[in-house]
Amino acid sequence: MSLLVVGSVAFDSVKTSGGTADEVLGGSATYCAYAASFFGPTRIVSPVGEDMSETHLEELREHNIDVTGVRVVPGGKTLRWSGRYSDSFLERTTEDIQLNVFADYDTTLPDEYLDSEYVFLANGAPEAQRAVLEQLPDRKLAFLDTMNHWIEGSRGALDEVLGLVDGLVVNDEEARLLTGETNLLTAARRLAGFGPEIVVIKKGEHGAILVADGKPFALHAWMTEDVRDPTGAGDCFGGALMGTIAGRHDRSLATIRAGIVYGTVLASFCIEGFSLDGLRRVTMDDVERRREELLGMIRWHE
Q: Which residues bind to a second copy, rule: CB under 8 A?
A: 87-90, 182-186, 189, 203, 205-207, 209, 216-221, 223-225, 227, 254, 257-258, 260-261, 295, 297-302
**DSSP string computed for 102-143:** GGS---PPPGGGTT--EEEE-SS-HHHHHHHHHT-TT-SEEE
Number of residues written out for the chain: 302
Question: In this complex, which beta carbon is closest to a second copy, that of residue 103 or of residue 254?
Answer: 254
Write the single-letter amino acid at 300. Answer: W
Shortest Å distance, C-beta 221 to a second copy: 8
Q: How far apart are CA 136 and CA 118, in angstroms?
A: 10
CA trace torsion 108, 109, 114, 117 (10° rounding): -110
Smallest distance, Å, CB 18 to a second copy? Answer: 11
Q: Which residues pair with 93 in a beta bridge?
A: 84
Tell me the closest approach of the beta carbon of residue 127 to a second copy, in angstroms: 32
For the bound state, the minimum distance from the C-beta of residue 82 to a second copy, rounded and expressed in Å, comes to: 23
Choice between 114 and 253, CB closer to a second copy: 253
Q: Which is nearer to a second copy, 137 or 296 (CB)?
A: 296
**CB of 281 or CB of 301, closer to a second copy:** 301
Q: What is the DSSP letter of 27?
A: -
- Our CB check for a second copy shows the closer of 188 and 236 to be 188
* Of 131 and 298, CB closest to a second copy: 298
**Terminal alpha carbon distance of the chain:** 37
AA identity, residue 130: R
> Closest approach of Cβ 124 to a second copy, in Å?
29
Element (H, E) at 10: strand 10-16
CB of 171 to a second copy, least distance (A): 14
Side chain identity at 49, as an amino acid letter?
A: G
We find the least distance from the C-beta atom of residue 237 to a second copy, in angstroms, to be 14
Nearer to a second copy, 181 or 197 (CB): 181
Beta strand 3-6 with 118-121 is parallel
- Phi/psi of residue 132, nearest 5 degrees: -70, -45
How far apart (Å, rounded) are the C-alpha atoms in residues 50 and 87? 35
CA atoms of 35 and 258, how far apart (whole Å):
15
